[in-house]
Structure 1
């Protein structure tokens, strides 16, 4: 067995640090439980079943944070703004999205540093999707 010199061991990805696929699936499932009951957000999901949207978001977040590249393998480049362009995403939708995501993030009970990293990204992503006044 060969020793690995100090400083060369690969650090864990955020995906691995927070518990991998199971954690991201729990996050996204809880989020979509809120979306399903939200009169503002639910109409933005034209599919009768939220399952496909849930799967896409889970795969995207897993890939973004260092997990498998399944999202890109199946759907290509994320192009988030383009994919959301058909929908009116105003401040009210932004706030509703973050409200449901806040509940989901809190229920994960991540360590403070990982929780902050995840939340900062989600808040940034939500802000970048706004494409309408109001």
Structure 2
């Protein structure tokens, strides 16, 4: 069964959030906020979020695991949403202002699978850092 583009974006955010083996409350809240706020999610039935998350978990735990989730998600996305996919994944990992090695590795894997140039991904990463920065004490 082919994923819908909305579901694919959500799968990528969920995998990004869980890539360090611990999905935090802040990451879950950020995913919900992004789904509720971003124009790319217009038309998505927010009541399906739990079902989409469960389907993602089932796929992660099934044959092919992470590679299958990534390949299916990317295949479901139109080319013009590849930068959006990377941006939402970065947004979720950046929410706690500290990226673990596993999160960095996941973003590297995603970057390698997407048809994005290095300047685009660097700009997305820099923008996320700037959005999440706090005032110094």
Between structures 1 and 2, the one with greater helix share: 2
